[in-house]
Amino acid sequence: MIRKIRAAVAYISFLMLLGTVGGMEHDRMPLHTGLIICAICLVAFAWGSSPFRYWPDAESEVRNGHHDQNEDEAARSDRSPPE
């Protein structure tokens, strides 16, 4: 539930950020007011999007020590000098 709320906050704050920048470009709001609103929207966007930075599957596999050994062998074979 909290993840959906944070996603909604990120979405709304991003749209607010775009609208505020557009308003400042077309002289619909003063620059200092627009900068304050942009800073608030940017902080809200960062807070809302923070749980979506990493893929949970890949992170849990690395944390649990499980990874594909075939990928490791392929990477080693690519690095070996030609014979």
**Is residue 20 a contact partner of residue 34, using CB atoms and an 8 Å limit?**
yes
Rg (alpha carbons) of the chain, rounded to whole number: 22
Whether residue 70 has pLDDT greater than 70: no
Q: For the chain, what are the domain ranges?
A: 2-79
11-64 pLDDT per residue, tens: 999 999 999 999 999 999 999 999 999 999 999 998 888 766 655 555 455 555
| Phi, psi of 7, rounded to the nearest 5 degrees | -65, -40
Answer yes or no: is pLDDT of 71 > 70: no
pLDDT at residue 68 greater than cutoff 80: no
Q: Given the structure tokens 């809200």, which residue do they identify?
A: 44
pTM: 0.58
